[in-house]
Amino acid sequence: MPQVTYIEHSGGSRTVDVPVGENVMRGALYNGIDGIAGECGGAPSCATCHVYVDADWTARVGGPASEAEAELLQAAACEVKPSSRLSCQIVMSDQLDGLVVHMPEAQY
């Protein structure tokens, strides 16, 4: 099963298994990782699952956010960077095994 490492704003990290076909947001929620709220359940209709994709992984997750995703990110509570993505839009595959995402300071 592929793994994702979630790095907190404070620097702490946790690596968990996330099944192929599941998204990074649900991987955090199902594993009790603080820092990703996912208020809309992955619809996507909010920005409470905002993450910064680690530079080594940006191209592998599909590059920058789509136009619709970028629009939602404008409502994010923290700075939007070129590596910003909605974690509900990153679907796990074997190619993403080892993915690293950094969480912003806040989602609200």
The per-residue pLDDT string of the chain (108 residues; one tens digit each, 9 = 90 and over) reads 999 999 999 999 999 999 999 999 999 999 999 999 999 999 889 999 999 999 999 999 987 888 999 999 999 999 999 999 999 999 999 999 999 999 999 999
Q: What's the CATH fold of domain 3-102?
A: Ubiquitin-like (UB roll) (3.10.20)
Which residue type sits at 90? I
Cα dihedral 15, 94, 1, 36 in deg (nearest 10): 40
pTM of the model: 0.95
Query: Domain spans of the chain?
Result: 3-102
> How far does Cα 30 stand from its chain's mean position?
14
5, β-bridge pairs: 15, 100
Structure tokens of 86? 């909605």
